A and B are shown apart, each in its own frame.
Chain A
């Protein structure tokens, strides 16, 4: 046994010389590593595909003595989030993870976590919603969470899963915020893909996101009893809600500060949005999550053809970066969105579009625009398809015509252009 361990150590040392701190990891593994490095006190996770390995790895870290945390075995996601909210209410650094139906099952407690102002952190492996049952990726679960008062960070790659989670603890627990934070990782596309990862290690993570002393925020404490979860009559409920509105707005500054300092310390800077080839872009797509990678690849191809394409990645969906997006889109000639979520029956059925269009309209910015849905339930999106979407947007720009409906791209037997004429 000791022989094996020695051998492993030797090998690790050897590796270090060659590669430094770079390892290969899936998104799920990166999430578990981030949580280990953040030295959480409590985890309660009900396993659901494609997030299972996060729960497995955390349990393994605890069993191996690498993480001193309480792992609470729960009978479902409703209990998982309840346990984590309660743990946070005692002052613990608490974490959960879920996906798809699991998120729906905890939906009631999502609102309670944010309105009780408990700084819990959650990893969400985004996945389609039933029915029909589907275990693959889209953003239906995440987009259903927009109204729950959580801060929402989207990750484009495995490194961002780790970095976002590290920042999430710092943001959530910041005295000016005290809100729960969810970090998404595209189901399978990030959760199960092996990519390069540079973990920071516990020392660095705890210097970037230090655990704050007990007593900096109100928690359940026998020496200073408080009541949590009171009745809010019509006299005061509204004011409590308005406090949440302000807290989310003000969290923007904290998120930006965290992203800037992260960049200073570790060379990877994070903002509310990321602009790709936007300096002279005429056509811009807005997207998020790992889908943004595909859009970048499409931009690269279009640039080779001489098309002035650019893209904007939304990293922070809540609070929505309206000012930043408006500024980024101010000088393009046409813009569009690409999303893996549907808002059924909405004015525009692609939900990212309605927010951006509203943000631009109130600032008096109106220009050719369109919205695209693709990739539902794990349908592959190919880069060449996004190139076609850019060309569609170019045609819309040239013709100046108004597009009143979302383009549902790639639906068998459906002609999105015919749909516009309806």
Chain B
């Protein structure tokens, strides 16, 4: 692997920043270099949120925001695709939280006059999160979906990182383990 750049799109409260940081942390724990950072601002619940993870085998000097990501992860299906697809490489991967299958996502994008990327992964993260956590906090489900589609880090490492984050509240940690297992299982990936 050389460099992989991932952009997370969500809304305040869904955990996009935590997702980006946890992914970065997992990469670091696996011996890689990573930068994980939010689009810095005065965070507020419900507002669109951007977060970035840049992973490499070598130290990273580029601290600029990611304009042309390899991967886009969309935590909130209500975000407009015109925004989250911006700059996504044609050879890239789109990971969406949706009830639609990847094929339907591609059709939907094409019907909106948008070019779909080479690979699309989808999972109904909201349903899974509500089932296990009792709230639509979809970040951990989306991390599992991302890993199934890209294998940028191992699922076990991310699970460790997430468990550690919530270790003070073990029932939440455990619930997230179930979320990640189920999301990983149910994620569908289609590449053109």
Contacts and interface: CB of A to CB of B under 8 A. Distances in A.
A–B direct contact (CB < 8 Å): yes
B28 A192 contact: no
Given A4-B170, A196-B33, A382 B64 contact: yes
Q: Counting chain B CB atoms within 10 Å of each CB, which of A11, A194, A195 scores highest?
A: A194
A382 to B, nearest CB: 5
B29 interface: yes
A194 B64 contact: no
A351 interface: no
Size bracket of the B interface = 20 to 34
A22 B31 contact: yes
Contacts of B25: 24, 194
Interface string A239-282: 00000000000000000000000000000000000000000000
Given A24-B34, A193-B36, A383 B164 contact: no
A194 B22 CA distance: 9
A297 interface: yes
Given A194-B34, A195-B34, A293-B62, A8 B28 contact: no
16 contacts: A4-B167, A8-B164, A24-B24, A24-B25, A135-B40, A135-B42, A136-B40, A194-B20, A194-B21, A194-B34, A194-B36, A195-B34, A293-B63, A297-B62, A300-B61, A378-B40
A116 interface: no
A280 B30 CA distance: 36
Contacts of A341: none
A378 B30 CA distance: 31
Contacts of B75: none
B58 to A, nearest CB: 10
Contacts of B168: 4
Describe B's contact surface by its main secondary structure.
Answer: mixed
A300 B3 CA distance: 15
Given A188-B40, A380-B64, 17 more contacts: A11-B160, A11-B164, A11-B167, A15-B29, A19-B31, A24-B21, A24-B25, A24-B28, A24-B36, A189-B37, A194-B20, A194-B24, A195-B24, A195-B36, A294-B62, A381-B64, A382-B64
A18 B28 CA distance: 11
Contacts of B64: 294, 380-383
Contact of B29 (A4, A19, A296): A19
Interface in A293-310: 293-294, 296-297, 300
A23 B20 CA distance: 16
A197 to B, nearest CB: 8
A405 B61 CA distance: 29
Nearest to B52: A193
A18 B29 contact: yes
Given A293-B62, A294-B64, A300-B61, A7 B167 contact: yes
Interface of B: 20-21, 24-25, 28-31, 33-38, 40, 42, 60-65, 67, 160-161, 163-164, 167-168, 170
Contacts of A23: 28-29
A81 B28 CA distance: 36
Q: Counting chain A CB atoms within 10 Å of each CB, which of B21, B29, B61, B63 scores highest?
A: B63
A50 B43 CA distance: 12
Interface of A: 3-4, 7-8, 11, 14-15, 18-19, 22-24, 50, 135-136, 188-189, 192-196, 290, 293-294, 296-297, 300, 378, 380-383
A5 to B, nearest CB: 9
Nearest to A19: B29
A72 B24 CA distance: 34
Nearest to A8: B167
Contacts of A189: 37, 63
A283 B29 CA distance: 37
Nearest to A20: B31
Contact of A192 (B37, B65, B67): B37
Contacts of B170: 3-4, 7
Nearest to B168: A4
Contacts of A135: 40, 42
A290 B28 contact: no
